[in-house]
A and B are shown apart, each in its own frame.
Chain A
Amino acid sequence: MTMDPRTIALGTDRWLTDSRVYNLVWLGRWIERAQNIARVLLWAAQREVDGGAPSMEEVLGIAADVRGVSVSRGESVLDALLSRDSGASLRGCLVAARYNATHVAPLEVMRHIGGAIENLDGSGGAPSSPEEVAALMRSSLAILDDLHRAIEESWFHTDVISEEEVYRRFIQQQ
């Protein structure tokens, strides 16, 4: 960025401060995690719908182990990965992403994250059958795809540096 800071001071909010970069990086990480969890849930559910073995519950158990998510007594592994109030779950990742977005992201991006959370919350109770889980994950992934498009179209294309450049500089600074 070669602009004279005085010329941008009252005109833009493009400074890449530590807090801004921190929130940008974590926003990206939480969304990526959310997407990964949604894909695993979809794959596990669809496999059972298609009659494959092992069952959704077993596949999700393995996925939880791989992710380091311990499932407490009385909690289903599906709940742990879908809606637990922490970064272990799809919903938890989206909630965390929304906090980061409130600091850095344009309204359009915040709205998509809100839509993804609403999609989970408004699904008429927790899904239980593999069919329901698969349908919910398809709609979640569709919203997350829209979110990616919104990020590319309404944000980084108009920003003074690219997403990759932000990340590169952040890594260099560490």
Chain B
Amino acid sequence: MSLSQLDRENRAVSAFSEWQDSEGRVRRHYESIAEAVERLGPQEMARRWGAAGRQVDFDAFTFYLDPRQYRPAPADWLPRVIPAEHWEVISAGVTQRLKAINRFLLDLYDGEQTIVPPEVVFTSRYFYPEVQGFRPPKGVFVHIYGIDLVHMGEGRYVVLEDNLRIPSGIAYQLKTADMASRLFPEFAQGYDIRPYDIRQGYLDMFRSLCDVESPVCVLLTDGKFGSAFFEHRCLSDLLGIPLVEGADLYVGNDGRVYARTLDRDIAVDLIYRRVEDLEMFLPGLREAYLDRKVVLVNGIGSGAADDKLVFLWAPQMIESYLGETAILEQAKSYNLQDAADRRFVIENLDMLVIKARQGYGGLGVYVMPDLSETHRARVARDIIENPEVFIAQETLDFSDHMVFNDAAGALERRRVDLRVFAIQDGNGNVTVFPGGLTRVALPGGRITNNSSGGLCKPTWVVS
């Protein structure tokens, strides 16, 4: 079928469209949604989009780019549909990668890892020398893992980045899926959407990491002006654990972490931390963690594997620790400290993506084909002067998806990525939550991060 009323803005953006085949026919797993869209028509779609936007605003479903500016999270409500056979590959690949990375971190801080060159791993901003010799509770550094994937077509998903410090987005995944199911029930008709239970998964994981039966758990936030504060509040409500700021906690004389409350001070067993610079928020927390007085999710030091240069060695980690070949391929990346790589990058700069090693949220990412000549020259100078700060990655022609432009009353194609979340408990069990958060790039762009203005999109895995 085609979408007669709505597809006038339907210009090709990438070689592979999630929604339709190369002939312009809607793919089979999108037919029900496309029929619902056709039935609703542009006016009703625009009205519903407006109502959804109002609810996003009223529910404080926000993602702040500027803490002084209240900003509802931009979203598109046309669901992304991932066929179950694609998901099985993604899920297995994410599980494999998470296990290997955790093993790498254990070896790294045991002083035994030999996969990543020392000059790479020891120059990572998030390598913490004080963690050396420390084994985290139950041998788990990475409890919550976010992996950024792009779809190249026909079930070929490629890893762009690993997020191992404080990956954000799971509440956005929940909220967009929840709102889409309530506000656009017709989209879900005819689909067998795979369910998941984040609450139970997280609470079981927290319990498995502690030696007490009912651990006291808190969520440490950077406060209500933080960009993803919505997620902190949402997860605190969902999990039923108190939301605390740094000033609510202190490290007692016995080395334990306590929460100050008006009634009394309460010892805390586990902190689900949503801040990176722990010492800034709670002086002494690092020592408390290293003295095993408190469990941190994720563990201090996990960011060493979050480094975009360390990323280059992930396939070798999988081979070495698990004796397996990587299920998910990853974007070809270049180490600018290597003379041959650097020469290649300089010669082919126009075709590559340059990323700051420690960047996040789309910051420090330069898609060279999309930049002006002047901007490109500036980045080239930066990487020649500071090769240790950057990596280069091939520019991928990843998939696009239909979004509804309510102002124009038309569908349009925009590039999308997929952030998938997984957790690892104290027994080494990994759970990958079906779907993930689909993020949509701005028109004509490739950067999908919410921090760079990307939209959220509901995502389903369907049988």
Contacts and interface: CB of A to CB of B under 8 A. Distances in A.
Interface of A: 1, 5-7, 9-21, 23, 95, 98-103, 107, 110-111, 114-115, 118, 166, 169-170, 173
A74 B229 CA distance: 37
B241 A9 contact: yes
B58 A16 contact: no
B60 A102 contact: yes
Q: Per DSSP, are chain A's interface residues mostly helix, strand or loop, or mixed?
A: helix
B60 A17 contact: no
Contact of B266 (A11, A12, A15, A103): A15
The DSSP consensus for interface residues of chain B is mixed
Interface stretch (B32-40, B177-185, B243-251, B422-430): B243-251
B94 to A, nearest CB: 27
Contacts of B233: 102-103
B262 A16 contact: yes
Instruction: Name the residue among A20, A101, A173 with the largest chain B CB count within 10 angstroms.
Output: A20
A9 B225 contact: no
A4 to B, nearest CB: 9
Nearest to B237: A13
A10 B210 CA distance: 13
Interface in B15-74: 54, 57-60, 62, 70
A173 B260 CA distance: 12
Interface of B: 54, 57-60, 62, 70, 203, 206, 212, 214-217, 223-225, 229-230, 233, 236-237, 239-245, 247-248, 259-263, 266
Given A10-B214, A10-B241, A110 B58 contact: yes
29 contacts: A5-B266, A6-B212, A9-B214, A9-B216, A10-B203, A10-B215, A12-B240, A13-B241, A15-B259, A17-B245, A18-B245, A18-B247, A19-B223, A19-B243, A19-B244, A19-B245, A19-B247, A20-B248, A23-B224, A95-B70, A99-B224, A99-B225, A102-B224, A102-B230, A102-B233, A107-B59, A110-B60, A111-B59, A118-B58
A118 B266 CA distance: 41
Contact of B224 (A5, A11, A15, A103): A103
A13 B236 contact: yes
Contacts of B57: 114, 118
Given A10-B214, A17-B260, A111-B58, A99 B266 contact: no
Contacts of B248: 17-20
Given A99-B70, A103-B224, A110 B262 contact: no
A131 B245 CA distance: 46
Contacts of B70: 95, 98-99
A13 B214 contact: no
Contact of B244 (A17, A99, A101): A17
Contacts of B54: 118
Contacts of A98: 60, 70
Which residue, B214, B242, B263, has most C-beta atoms of chain A within 10 A? B242
A1 B261 CA distance: 11
A11 B59 CA distance: 23
Q: Which 8 A-B pairs have the closest CB atoms?
A: A114-B58, A17-B248, A9-B216, A16-B262, A19-B245, A111-B58, A15-B242, A5-B266
